[in-house]
């Protein structure tokens, strides 16, 4: 499974591609950051993020895109920018028919470190260890994008089994009903 992780942000949008399956060693395929100038008009920044993500999709051909779920913070401006960048990533994937999964920050931290309260340094250290890298990816947005991809690879099998069970239950429930 090849997953593009996206840590959305208007100034720095972390992107990272990881390949592998749950229970086996994972491989980093690529990591980076799509940057936009702080002083640029919002529309131009969103187009730059779109072009950057499209380029990553073209180059790495992921089967899934994992995006950090936007959560409420005290700074509404930051939340809005993050949500806008997140929407661009989801749009790029949807346009290509690539499934998108949203993961909360605490879910990602728990998946890669064992605790949902891990700090950026702990996440970076575990990403480095799990992907057998020489050093933590910089900036932290890049490491977070890889952590999102790792989280998705590890959680996708359980999520798929859950979806199948729900679908099976729904099919059984409607089977006995009159048409």
Per-residue pLDDT of the chain (179 residues; tens, 9 = 90+): 999 999 999 999 999 999 999 999 999 999 999 999 999 999 999 999 999 999 999 999 999 999 999 876 677 878 899 999 999 999 999 999 999 999 999 999 999 999 999 999 999 999 999 999 999 999 999 999 999 999 999 987 666 666 667 777 778 887 766 65
As given in the structure block, the two tokens for residue 113 are 């470190």
Sheet with 2-7, side-by-side order of all strands = 27-35, 12-19, 2-7, 64-68, 100-103
Instruction: Say how far apart CA 151 and CA 81 lie, in whole Å.
Output: 23
Which CATH number describes the domain made up of 2-175? 3.30.420.10
Chain center to CA of 74: 22
Query: Does 141 participate in catalysis according to the annotation?
Result: yes
**Catalytic site residue from 59, 68, 134, 144:** 68
Query: Does 59 participate in catalysis according to the annotation?
Result: no
Task: Give me the phi and psi of 15, to 5 degrees please.
Answer: -135, 140
**Catalytic site residue from 7, 54, 63, 144:** 7
**Catalytic site residue from 19, 107, 141, 144:** 141
Region label for 77, one of left (φ > 0), alpha (ψ between -120 and 50) or beta (otherwise): alpha
Q: Where are the domains of the chain?
A: 2-175
């Amino acid at each position: 499974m090849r997953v593009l992780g996206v840590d959305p942000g208007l100034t720095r949008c972390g992107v990272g591609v990881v390949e592998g399956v749950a229970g086996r060693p994972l491989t980093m395929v690529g990591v980076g950051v799509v940057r936009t100038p702080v002083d640029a008009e919002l529309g131009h920044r969103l187009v730059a993020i779109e072009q950057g993500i499209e380029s990553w999709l073209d180059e790495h051909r992921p089967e899934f895109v994992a995006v950090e779920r936007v959560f409420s913070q005290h700074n509404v401006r930051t939340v809005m920018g993050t949500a806008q960048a997140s929407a661009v990533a989801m749009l790029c994937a949807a346009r290509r028919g690539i499934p998108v999964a949203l993961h909360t920050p605490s879910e990602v931290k728990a998946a890669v470190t064992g605790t949902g309260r891990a700090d950026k340094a702990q996440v970076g250290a575990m990403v480095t260890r799990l992907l057998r890298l020489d050093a933590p990816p910089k900036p932290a947005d890049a490491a977070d994008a890889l952590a999102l991809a790792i989280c998705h690879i590890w959680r996708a099998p359980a999520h798929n089994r859950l979806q199948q069970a729900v679908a099976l239950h729904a099919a059984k429930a409607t089977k006995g009903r009159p048409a």
